[in-house]
Amino acid sequence: MKIIIDQDKCVASGQCVTAAVDVFDQRDEDGIVVLLNDNPPEDLAADVHQAAAVCPALAIVVED
């Protein structure tokens, strides 16, 4: 699994952190997404796909 994030598109809704807290975090100054792990273990796959699905800015792409 490979995750690509787009910080320019991100609107800091926090949805990805809620879905997969071990994979996504938010930048302290403005809440924009940061990736904690761009190739997380398989057991987090469902959470990561959930995060991508609920991102309102379509800023998360997951390649299996």
Partner 1 sequence: MTTPVYPMTRAEGCPFDPPPKLRELQDEAALVKVQVFDKTAWLVTRYADQRKLLADPRLSADVSTPGYPSQTAMAPKSDDGVGIGFILMDDPEHARLRRMVTAPFMIKRVEAMRPAVQKIVDGLIDDLLAGPKPVDLMEAFALPVPSLVICTLLGVPYADHDFFQQNSKQLISLTATPEERGQAHGNLGAYLYNLVGEKLENPGDDLLSGLTERVKAGELARQDAAGMGVLLLLAGHETTANMIALGTLALLEHPPQLAVLQETDDPKVVAGAVEELLRYLNITHNGRRRAVLEDIELDGQVIKAGEGLIFPNDIGNRDPSAFPDPDTLDLHRDARHHVAFGFGVHQCLGQPLARMELQVVYSTLYRRIPTLRRAAELDEIPFKHDGSVYGVHSLPVTW
Q: Which residues bind partner 1 (CB under 8 A)?
A: 11-15, 17-19, 21, 26, 28-32, 50, 53-54, 56-58
Nearer to partner 1, 15 or 23 (CB): 15
Q: How far is the CB of 38 from partner 1 (least distance, A)?
A: 20
12 in Cβ contact with 56 (< 8 Å): no
Q: How far is the CB of 48 from partner 1 (least distance, A)?
A: 14
16 in Cβ contact with 60 (< 8 Å): yes
36 in Cβ contact with 25 (< 8 Å): yes
